[in-house]
Amino acid sequence: DTGVSQNPRHKITKRGQNVTFRCDPISEHNRLYWYRQTLGQGPEFLTYFQNEAQLEKSRLLSDRFSAERPKGSFSTLEIQRTEQGDSAMYLCASSLGLQGGYEQYFGPGTRLTVT
Amino acid sequence: AQSVTQLGSHVSVSEGALVLLRCNYSSSVPPYLFWYVQYPNQGLQLLLKYTTGATLVKGINGFEAEFKKSETSFHLTKPSAHMSDAAEYFCAVTDRGGGYNKLIFGAGTRLAVHP
């Protein structure tokens, strides 16, 4: 069990550019979640996958955001035409669902800075 | 909608003193409850959780929490603080209404431990 990994750990981009983040969950976990955390706040739910199906999206996930989980393994989160308000820590988590008591295991996060 | 309130954004204690971090949730249906800890520039680590059964739950690093349905609370305690406990702590809930598919976090409490 190597834990949840996220790449890159840090990303600095200019406003208007596109960015993509990757999350590799714990290998046997079928559920994968994305959260966003801004300074001084708790994480906020963005979206959730069960295997390759995206089953829920938050209203926070505007049309500029898209997430995929091809083949039910790793996931990517893309932000198009970044805005300064997108600056945040993007956290990925995975779980076994009911079998795991709904515990979610978090990765180290990707810190995005939009200049 | 489900919400989580953490009373006190900053708590300061002396090394060896009792740690008490407060968490209240809004659901009328008992949810699953979690406490996570976050060290600087890192992801979230699960400290403990309550799902069903015994209302006093023990976690890692000497922390414990008690679920009190009548008070809709899930306060985190540790009898004797260590310097290494300095971090940010988040209370989170998930419930049946959301299919246990997402965590709703409080805003967090930053714990400082002084020698």
Which residue among B51, B102, B108 sits closest to A45, beta carbon to beta carbon?
B102
Sign of the torsion formed by the C-alpha atoms of A29, A101, A103 and B60: negative
Q: Does A105 touch chain B (CB under 8 A)?
A: yes
What is the percent of chain A where pLDDT is above 90?
A: 80
From B35's Cα to the closest Cα of chain A, the distance in A is: 11
**pLDDT band per the 50, 70, 90 thresholds, residue B16:** very high
Residues of chain A positioned with their CB less than 8 A from the CB of B88: none
- Under DSSP, the state recorded for A14 is -
State the Cα–Cα distance between residues A79 and A13, nearest whole angstrom: 11
Q: What is the mean predicted confidence (pLDDT) over A45-70?
A: 92
More confident residue, A57 or A97: A57
From A26's Cα to the closest Cα of chain B, the distance in A is: 14
Q: Are A82 and A13 within 8 A, CB to CB? A: yes
The letter for the amino acid at A12 is I
Quote the Cα angle for A91-A92-A93, to 5°: 125
Note the pLDDT of residue A1. 55
| pLDDT, tens digit, 9 for 90 and up, residues A18-48 | 999 999 999 989 999 999 999 889 999 999 9
Four-CA torsion A67, A92, A7, A74, nearest 10 degrees: -60
User: Is A42–B34 a contact, with Cβ atoms under 8 angstroms apart?
Assistant: no
Residue A106 in this model has a pLDDT that exceeds 90: yes
More confident residue, B99 or A115: A115
User: Is A98–B34 a contact, with Cβ atoms under 8 angstroms apart?
Assistant: no
Q: What is the mean predicted confidence (pLDDT) over A50-78?
A: 92
**pLDDT band per the 50, 70, 90 thresholds, residue A97:** confident
| pLDDT, tens digit, 9 for 90 and up, residues B72-113 | 999 999 999 999 999 999 999 987 766 777 899 999 999 999
Note the pLDDT of residue A76. 98
Closest CA in chain B for residue A40: B107
The encoded tokens of residue A42 equal 């708790």
State the Cα–Cα distance between residues B71 and A61, nearest whole angstrom: 34
Note the pLDDT of residue B98. 67
Q: Are B50 and B100 within 8 A, CB to CB? A: no
Kindly list the distances between the CA atom of residue A28 and the CA atoms of A34, A71, A72, in Å, as whole numbers in the listed order.
18, 13, 10
